[in-house]
Every structure is written in C-alpha cells, then in structure tokens.
Structure 1
C-alpha cells in the first residue's frame, strides 16, 4: 500500500499538467477578509466547510430537537497549518516580504491555495485544500515546499515540516469514540465513530445519526516530516474521509491512497473542468472582469453545495439547499442549515440550468418528505400536505423557537414548491417524473390550500387569513397578494396535471378550480396597484421583494398594474433588505422595458453584497449584520442575468409547454453574454445574449425535432437549429414535435 507521503521530483512537472487558470476564474488576494466568515466555502454535496473555519458538515446530518435542530458540527480536522523548521527555529511572518503571501481561490479547478515565499530563507510553501468532486467522501489537504536557490546555505540546512491541526472545540453535536488508532502503513486507519446526541423528531427519526471519520494520518500531536537536504521539493498530504457507512468511507480512503497526489488533484480538477466546459458556464464579453469573477464565484459556491453527478461511489439521498450552503449551518446566522422557500424560488431556477439531474435531486428531497408534510398539515388542523417553513433531516417543522408566527403563517412555501415543480416540468418535459414525483406533491398541496382557505359564499370570494408573505415585517395579515397568486398557480397546475397522470376525480378538480377562481387578488383601482395585503397603507416600509414577484418569477401579472407595483414598492423597501430583492426589481424592470432602472437595480443587487477578496456574498449590504455565503442572493442575481437580461423563459400556454425567447439586453459594460449549455428535455442549447438580439443553438440527437411559433406562424426547425431573434421581432416559442 502506498504511504500517505509522496515526493515530487520536479514541481514544474506537476504545474505543467494543468492549464493556466483564466483570470475570470482566479480570485487572488494578499490579505484575508476582516471577517473570516467571508472565506470561500468548499463542498461537493456530501461534505462542506469554510476555509479556516472550525466546522465540517455532512449532507443531511443534523442534531437537536424541533426548532433546535441544526447541522451537526464536525470539528474541522482539515484546518491544518504547515511550518518549515530547522535547527534555528521555524519560519515566521517576519521572514516574509510585503505581499509575500498570496491566497487564491481557483474556481475553475475547484481548490483553495495559500502560497508563501520566504525569499531570504530560500524556499516557498504552498498549501492546498479542497473537497474532492469525484471522490466525494474525501477531504484533501496538501502542502508542497520548494527550494528556491540551492546555493543558499540556510536553504540547504536540514529541515522538517511541522503540521498542526486547528479543528476548533469539541463538537456539541456528536459523541465521538475511537474505533481504531491504526495508520495507513499498517493497513488500518485512525477511525472515529460519531453519533448525534439529540433526535430531531422521534416519529420520523427513531435513532441517532451515525457517521464514521477516517484519517490517512493522525495529527493529534503536531506532525514532523523530515525534508532531506538533497531533495528539491517535498509534498505531503492528509486525507480525511467520512460517511454514514464505515465501509464506504474506508473504500474511499483506500481508493484515494492508491493515487499519487498529482493524479488525485488531476481527478478533482478534471471533474470541475468538465462541469464548466460541458454542463454550465457563463462568459461575459466587454469590460467586465470583476463581474465575470462574481458570476463564476456565484456558480461555484452554488454548485459546491450540490451532489456531484459522477462520483467514485453512489451518492446518498440529498437533503436540500439551505440559504448559506452545505459548508455552514450550526449558527443562527446560517439558518441552522435548514431548507426554506429559498430553495425552490431563488436557487432552483438556476440549478436547473446546471443540469436536470441536479434539480431532480433537489426536488426529490421534497418528495421524500411528503409524509412529514402530510403529518404537519394534520397536526395543525388541515388536510393534504403542508410543507414546514423550515425543514431539515425529518421534513418536519424546525423553525427557531424565537419565531413561532413565522412557522404558523408563512404558508406560501407549499404552493412555492408546486410552482417550482411546474417550472421544472416546463423545461424537462419528463412525464414519468411529473407523475411519480410532481403529481403526489401538487395534489396534496392543493388539498391543503382548500382546507386552509376561508370562503364567503355571500360574496363568492375566498381568502387566506392570518398569514405572512415574503415580507416578514408584516405578520398576521389577510390576503397577502403573493401568497394568493402563487396559490392560484399551484391549484391550476394540480388541476392540469391530474388528468395527464391518469386521475379522473372531476369532483376534486372542480374544488381546486373553484378555490382558484374565487381567491381574492387585491387591487387598488384608483392607484392601479396591488396592495401587499388587506389594510396595507401605501409607502409603508416592507422588508424585501414580495408583491413585485407577481411579475417575475410568477408571470401572474405583467400589466400596467405591475409597473405601478414596481414604482411604489421600490420607494418602500428598506435599504437593509436581502440581496435578491434588488435583483428581482431589475428582472421585473427588464420585463416592463424600464431598462435604465433595471441596470441600476442590477448593480445595486451585487455591488454592496459581494465581499471583494473571494467574491463571497452577504445576505445584507455592508454595514448590516447578515449571513455569509448567501446562496439565495446568488440565485436571484443569476436569475436576473439568465432570465431577465436573457429574456429566456420556460412556460405553459394552455396545454403546450415551450421555451420562450423575448427581448434581450446586456448589463452595463457587457457586450455579450454566452451561456454554453441550457438543458431542454433531452436537448442541449447554447444561448448568446446581445444588446438588441439573441442567438440560440439547440441540438436534439434522438427527438422528433423542434418547431417554432412566432405570431401564430409555425416553422419546423429539425433536430438542430441556429436561430437569431431580434428585439423588434415578436417573442418566439420553441417546442418539440409530438
């Protein structure tokens, strides 16, 4: 068996195996963020951590009862520091010249690197850390030291590497016990077994969760690795693997240790490069370096919380996307790693563009937790399925005890999920998935909405009373217009989907149609706008995007009423609102052809929210407290780029689902946006967005071909086509011949 120490004869050989990273994918700084929460978060959908942080988290592993449930913190044993020492002592910061240390996040290759040059002492130290994208149970730390000048007497003095772990305090979530204290050289590995201490909800979790942690090398005490004077370079790696199944973690470690450090890194970078080249990337042309880096970083941080599609061993079921990702989650600022409406409304539309399989794994979490949602509806006095405002391992309500009104009143999450199911089907056109996954959820959500509504037969009107919309500054209101609108969409989708999936219950469908028809949508006829809820007074401050969402993403109302909504609520939304709010104003202004305002709000949506060093997003603008690695804000920002400026949509008109191309625009200083891959059923499309036109290229290898509808004219396009749409032309609808 290979030992965990590998020597590299020529470091140039290692560097020569990898192409130079383009500037748009390389985030380099000579200083760290003042707040280390804004260091990069790395992950692979199974494991995640924040660089220099004290915690590792595993997909779906939570500890705590009810609202006290949070991601179970595993000490960050990968947080390792390396020092080069000799008989004179260890190199220190005093030996480093100004800007002698660089910190780099390589987004294209998927790893973080710290490089320090000790020029007077005659060597460099490069430390790398990453969650492996292919061997996704593995976390990797590697240090490479290189002599600069063989003539330097001090450089040639006998040296050793001193490796020290800084994992943080013991975990309050696990009871860890030592299973084995072996080492790779003896054919065994240091192994810990951890069991969570507190069940989330006993009805749906009978036993604690159990994980196994295996180490290629124990670092309980600082480790010393000798660096012979004849050796130009020295490389040393620490591998940690984790899984619920000890045999899976063991096989992963064994498979990894068969590889050289060069090959191990190469397998990782190949997986990331394949994603950028074949699955999804956005290229901006123009004077847009910083914006390009922000776009690429946003995609990277979002993908890092998703399961890898191709892995060494089969993935476990996925437990959803939380607002700050898999690498965070044991703090209130991280929303304890819970799932919210953020998943379906803010992140999923972008995740779907990465590939349909990514989106299916996200939505499968909701399908697996349907029974818990039905239990929640029944326990709160209703029928059907009521998805909790916050969910984690069991799928039951885990909202923080601080805020019971949020759990009781934000009922819009259930129709939000139905809306997301419809939006995904519009793009995937996967009937088997729709009937097996979407229909059971959509039907039970519709039943819940019927049981939750209050109807007044004398006025032939229905209401949702005592609710809270996305604007959490206004609890206990009636007829929040967003809640009612998205509920109408959910009811309509369930009614449409039922017959396609073989359900013939006309009585059920009529009940859903009746509620949809009678559900009140507030509108002020004098001012021609939608009051956010009953009794809303114009110019009352609101927290975030709420009513304006009736335009995009709901496409419920894009009339002059919606334009007035934008005008009124733009002046009423508080400045400390979350990042995605301004992105949604931008997307909606683009729909309403208010291009100057769209550009202003687009820039407002990221410039005050992205920290400069590693383009990590904050929930709130500089000067306000908020979450770090805010994937929700990234999702809103990327949606505006793809669907707002891109004019792209997937939707249902009657019984026909189509890809819809409307007018396009480019953000300030951007001449062109190129998206290399958009999935559409089994087809792949590329999309190029220019200021006054767009070009779409699609290829469907096995299908019957595409047709285009424009101004009622139908045109057969074949199995592949290249079409340019100009802004002065009517919108086009592209669908499959069936």
Structure 2
C-alpha cells in the first residue's frame, strides 16, 4: 500500500503561486524554453547540476563531483539512484481518479530550474499543479523537488499520489542506513555507502564514502491528503549528499528552515549573478538566442557554485557530457579529455575566471597522476592521460588503448590553454603557482618523447585529433602544439624560476621541430604520408589557425581549409564545423563561415529543450554534449566577435579583430568579456561596433585604435568602426 500523509507540509502564500504561474515578460522570453511534449529519447532531457551534484530530469541517476567507481579503464562516475525523480501520477477526488499528464514543460534558464504544469477544470473544481526540480545553487549539497497546488471548488479532500522512479539499485555502492544522529534535533533517513572499487590503488588508498539524507522517509509511492477547502498547498522533497555526514546533516537542517520563497530566492540569486556577469544578447532571432542561452546554461550547470553555504569540495573537472551523466560509455564515463582545455575552457573563462582557475587547478592537483602515467609508459615529467578521473592516471575505456598510447597532444594542449589564459587574466601569481609547475613537467615529458635525427625533431607513433589515422609520424597539429608548449614553458621559467637561464633543449626543440608543409600545394599535410583526399574524422590541421594561432599566411590557411573541408566526415562531432567557421572568418570567406556556423548547431540541437547531441540527427552520439556547446560559443565570441588573447612580451594583449554579423540576426552584444581584471561589452550592430568598459579592475590598460592610444577608465566607450582594436596591460 502507498504511504499516506495528511497535510504534511505548510501552506504557501497565494502571491507566490500567482507569480510563478504568470507568463514570462518579453525581456525573459529568451530565457524560457517551453515544450508541450517530451523528447522521444529522454536522453535529451535537460541535465542540471551545481558542481557538487548533477542529474538529468526524469533520468535514473544522480552523480557527485569526483566520486568514481571501478579499476583503471573501468572507472566511471559512481551512480546513485535518482531518488529525486518524483512526479504526481494521479489525483483522487470523490469517486474518480484523474491521471496527470502535464500540459507544458518549461526550462527556466534565468532562474535555473525545470518545471512541469497541469491545469484541470470540471464541475466547479479548478485545479493547478506546478512541479519543480533543481539542484540548489547556494545550498549546493541539496537537490530540491517542489509541488505547488492551487485548488478551488473542492468539497472533499484531494488525495495526491506521488511516484518515485529512482531506477535500479546502485552498481557502485552497497548502501546501509546510518544510525548517527549527529546531535541534530530531527531524524532524517540517512544512507551511507562506499565505492566498491578504487581507480588506482597506488594513488587512491581508500574508497570514496558518501552520505545521502532524505527529508522524508518513503520510496516508490506516497499519497498526500489535501484537506477539503484548502486552496493552496506546498510539498517539498529534499536530498542532501556529501562525503562528510555532518555537512549533509547541516545542509538539510538549514534548507528545511527556509520558507519556499526564501529557499528559492537563495537559488535564483546565484543564477541571476551568472547572467549578469556574462550573457550574449541577440537581436532579431529568438530561436538562436534561446540556443545560446541554453548552451551557456548547460555548460555552467556542471561548474561549481561560486558562492555556497559551505565550502566546496575539490572540483574534478568538466566531462564532455557534464556532471549529471557519466556511468555509461556514451557519457565518456564522466572522464576529462582535451575537450576541457581546447573546447570548453575558452568560453568558461569568459563566464568567470574563477571557474577557469578551478579547471586548471584540477590538472595541477593531479600532477602526481600525470607523473605516474609518464613513468609507467617509460617517460619523464608529467604525461597527462587521455582520460582522467579521480587519481589523474590513465583510465581510458578498455576498448581503445591505442588512443591513450598515441594521442599525446593532450599534455601540450593543456599548456596551450595555460598560455592563452594568462594574457586574458594577467595574473602573475597564478602563472607562477599553477601554470609554471604544469608547463615545466609537461616540457620534461615532451623532451623525453621527441626523437632527434640530427636535423629535425620528430614524433612517431602518434595520433592527432583525427582518430581515423593511427600510428602516424609527425602529425602536424601535435608537433605544433608541442612547439607552442615548450615556448610557453620557456616564457614562464623566465618569469617564475629562480634561475633565468633556459634549458637549451627546450629552445632547440622549438627551433628544430619538424612542421610538415607542402610548398608546392601551399598547405599542411596532416601527417607524414597523408594523401590529399583521405577522409578524416574531425577538425585536425585546420586547428592550427584557430585555436592554436600558429603563424602562417592567409593563403596557406585558406588552402588548409579547402583541402580538409571536403574530406571531414559527415558523422563527425559538432565542434569541427564551429572551427571551420572561425577559420573561414579569419580569411574573409564570409559565405563559407556562415554556412559552417549554422551547420555547427542546426542539426545538433534537439528542439524540445535545446539539448546538444555529439552527432547530427541520424547518427548515434552523446547527449548534453558540452564540447559542441564550447565550440559553438567560441564561434560567436572569438569568431564573429573577433576576440583573441596574446602575449606581447611580458604584457598581455587582447585583440578585437574585424567583427562580423551573426547570420540570421539583426545584431548582437557580448556582455562580460574578461580581460586583465576588467570587464567589457562588445556590441555589433548595423550602425557600427562599440566597445564599452563595464568594470575597471586594478590593472592599467590602454587601447590602441587607429594609431591613437587611450587609457581605459570605468565607463569608457569607443566606436571601433571596423578597425582592429588592441588592449594592452601597461
């Protein structure tokens, strides 16, 4: 029999219900995504998180940041059943039962929650239901389900039947009830479990423990009785979880002290700060605006809350499908790849530099794992693994060991990302405490990995981003990022090391690294022996232009694009087309750029809730594909917005190249561009391009525009008029 409660929760004010049910204002329409139906594949439901906990709406899993189960390549996010997957199944009134099929589903981006609505009217009875689900952004150990009921004309009690579809038992934990009351006045149902397997016993001496608390003690079915004549009713179900039982208890106590409106306000305040700090405003294309906002929202959901009730636990990075997924192979087991640094981090750094710092800190904190990985494969220094999880050792899926062995570009990719982040922040303390230790040890690995034939340095038995070609020599992308990484290691040593003399071998490799180039055809062959016309999986050589920013002529760059655009697989991932768009913009091929920009999102975004797929409709691919979102946002910020970061000696430089209109829009603004502790907006409209300083930091910055120099002050505003703008630290 289902459990029953009589009016177990307190009523809510009518004003709360009324305000929540009002239609969105015109200003918020770009932040509300509505659908009258669910996607046929529930993998494309929204994935929500707060950096500590994550889940997919109506899915069967909850995941906690940094908690993995399984040995080596079998390590994957440790799944908790989705006890928050609650929904009203039916309502009984008098002699009839009403099955609840929601009228509408909404993803509310600005406030950071998902809701489903139902309304019924017959024989004088008027009934409105709203159900909400969200991971709390301030109380980030808490997941919230809320039910709001408004009913008039009922002369008998309503029996509301809730169902819980948590899915099967956890494959990662054996849970048992915890008897500790932690000196709290109220008892909560508490489960305690430890992961069954450790990822790498040498670096993980203990299993990961977890405590899960529930505000109410019921499973599967629950019946709530709403007394006759009660017009407003509220019920909530709260889950808290942490490795520390006391933290989970305290979080539950404090959440339940809040009235509904104050609890919700604490959550929405954090999301409002996010949108105030960064947003992209689109004119004349509401659909694109929603896709952009949803993409930023899904990416931010897997990042840790920046202001929390209790200090955050260490953060374990961004996986290609986010924190709310990770048990399945299709979700990349929740591991970290080069996707983080090359595809997602440039956009994340514009959201908030603190988030970028936390992503880099994950790599810094796992240098021991990278050293272990280098040593186990016969090399020196730090070799970051192709797939990284809890320990930072190699945890590649057992299907594909050759990828881990050959895609060595991930280590210099990380250093390349450090090199591009430093000029954006000009944070010398970070450069020396985080970037330098990573760059130094990666450089040592690269020195031990290259081969010198007396004339040139080579890299053999490698695989570039194009995974269709294995065991190649001198993949040009890999060799270039190795060169870039050693240049940056030399730069950071000069600033951060006690001795300023540079290791001769680093500079020697930079100067003699073999970079394949066909002089006759004026293009870069992908690797030694590559034949023009061979199919490639995804963007590889074209990445030399952007994001690598390798110096070459525009004709060479255009020839690279023309050679590889026709041979890149149709089934390739979304972000490849975004990179084609950016690079075609840089060589002034607008028609091609617009084509690839639209191709990069149009067939990858599912219509109901703007959730991304790794591959286009018709091909299998991962859902909630944050890598594709990262590439798409770079296409707008760094492509059409023209924003690039460089080192200028020991000064930092932000260049705003020629800006371009986004196709199918009337104009747009990128608000919250971060550079050298200041914040800017860039507005691109038909009447011109305007750069404004929104917040001035404590570093002095000058603008060079049209051979004139201007000091940047708070509220500075400049019309760029199609000219290239250079902002430099002084």
TM-score, structure 1 length as denominator?
0.94
CA separation in 2, counterparts of 1:421 and 1:26? 35
Number of the residue aligned with 2:214: 215
Question: What whole-Å deviation, never above 9, does each CA across 1:676-701 have from its counterpart, x for those lacking one?
Answer: 21222221212212358421112564
CA gap of 1:558–1:29, structure 2 versus 1, over 3 A, is farther
TM-superposed deviation, 1:357: 0.5
Q: 3-state DSSP class of the match of 1:81?
A: strand
Of 486, 490, 493, 1:495 maps to: 490
Q: Size of the alignment, in residue pairs? A: 718
TM-superposed deviation, 1:363: 0.7
Contact 1:665 1:692 in 2 (8 A): no
Output aligned runs, 1:429-440, within 5 Å: 429-440=426-437
2:389 is the alignment partner of 1:387: no
Number of the residue aligned with 1:163: 162
Contact 1:649 1:659 in 2 (8 A): yes
2:437 is the alignment partner of 1:467: no
Output aligned runs, 1:83-232, within 5 Å: 83-92=90-99, 101-120=103-122, 122-147=126-151, 149-150=152-153, 155-180=154-179, 187-220=186-219, 222-232=221-231
CA separation in 2, counterparts of 1:323 and 1:436? 27
Contact 2:676 2:729 in 1 (8 A): no
Q: Could you tell which deviates more after superposition, 446-455 or 18-27? A: 18-27
2:568 is the alignment partner of 1:561: no
CA separation in 2, counterparts of 1:297 and 1:122? 34
Contact 1:663 1:692 in 2 (8 A): no
Number of the residue aligned with 2:546: 552
RMSD: 2.0
Q: Could you tell which deviates more after superposition, 717-726 or 485-494? A: 717-726
Q: 3-state DSSP class of the match of 1:312?
A: coil
Structure 1 unaligned residues grouped into runs of 5+: none
Question: What whole-Å deviation, never above 9, does each CA across 1:236-275 have from its counterpart, x for those lacking one?
Answer: 0001000010111111110101101121112111211121
Number of the residue aligned with 1:297: 294
Contact 2:693 2:712 in 1 (8 A): no
Contact 2:8 2:224 in 1 (8 A): no
CA separation in 2, counterparts of 1:505 and 1:381? 29
CA separation in 2, counterparts of 1:18 and 1:363? 42
Contact 2:490 2:502 in 1 (8 A): no
Q: 3-state DSSP class of the match of 1:300?
A: helix
Question: What whole-Å deviation, never above 9, does each CA across 1:534-557 have from its counterpart, x for those lacking one?
Answer: 111101000000000000111103
CA separation in 2, counterparts of 1:169 and 1:673? 46
Contact 1:552 1:588 in 2 (8 A): yes
Question: What whole-Å deviation, never above 9, does each CA across 1:117-141 have from its counterpart, x for those lacking one?
Answer: 2223631221110000111000000
Number of the residue aligned with 1:445: 442
Q: 3-state DSSP class of the match of 1:310?
A: coil
TM-superposed deviation, 1:654: 3.4
CA separation in 2, counterparts of 1:381 and 1:50? 41
2:29 is the alignment partner of 1:23: yes
Number of the residue aligned with 2:12: 8
Of 696, 720, 723, 1:725 maps to: 720
Contact 1:707 1:736 in 2 (8 A): yes
2:513 is the alignment partner of 1:519: yes
Output aligned runs, 1:28-39, within 5 Å: 28-39=34-45
Number of the residue aligned with 1:43: 49
CA gap of 1:391–1:138, structure 2 versus 1, over 3 A, is same
Number of the residue aligned with 1:283: 281
Number of the residue aligned with 2:453: 456
Number of the residue aligned with 1:686: 681
Number of the residue aligned with 2:67: 61
CA gap of 1:162–1:699, structure 2 versus 1, over 3 A, is closer
Number of the residue aligned with 1:482: 477
Q: Could you tell which deviates more after superposition, 645-654 or 327-336? A: 645-654
Q: 3-state DSSP class of the match of 1:513?
A: helix
Q: Could you tell which deviates more after superposition, 121-130 or 206-215? A: 121-130
Question: What whole-Å deviation, never above 9, does each CA across 1:503-529 have from its counterpart, x for those lacking one?
Answer: 426352x21010011111111111111
CA gap of 1:702–1:350, structure 2 versus 1, over 3 A, is closer
CA separation in 2, counterparts of 1:717 and 1:435? 27
Output aligned runs, 1:569-588, within 5 Å: 569-588=564-583
Q: 3-state DSSP class of the match of 1:172?
A: coil
CA gap of 1:704–1:637, structure 2 versus 1, over 3 A, is closer
CA gap of 1:16–1:583, structure 2 versus 1, over 3 A, is closer
TM-superposed deviation, 1:60: 0.3
Contact 1:180 1:190 in 2 (8 A): no
Contact 1:165 1:219 in 2 (8 A): no
Q: Could you tell which deviates more after superposition, 324-333 or 716-725? A: 716-725
TM-superposed deviation, 1:702: 5.3
CA separation in 2, counterparts of 1:72 and 1:704? 44
CA gap of 1:186–1:503, structure 2 versus 1, over 3 A, is closer
TM-superposed deviation, 1:735: 1.4
Question: What whole-Å deviation, never above 9, does each CA across 1:594-624 have from its counterpart, x for those lacking one?
Answer: 0111000000000000000000000000000
CA gap of 1:167–1:221, structure 2 versus 1, over 3 A, is closer
Number of the residue aligned with 1:665: 660
CA separation in 2, counterparts of 1:235 and 1:13? 10
2:396 is the alignment partner of 1:402: no
TM-superposed deviation, 1:705: 3.1
Contact 1:580 1:636 in 2 (8 A): yes
Contact 1:703 1:719 in 2 (8 A): no
Q: 3-state DSSP class of the match of 1:156?
A: coil
CA separation in 2, counterparts of 1:27 and 1:319? 30
Contact 2:693 2:716 in 1 (8 A): yes
2:268 is the alignment partner of 1:262: no
TM-superposed deviation, 1:6: 2.4
2:430 is the alignment partner of 1:428: no
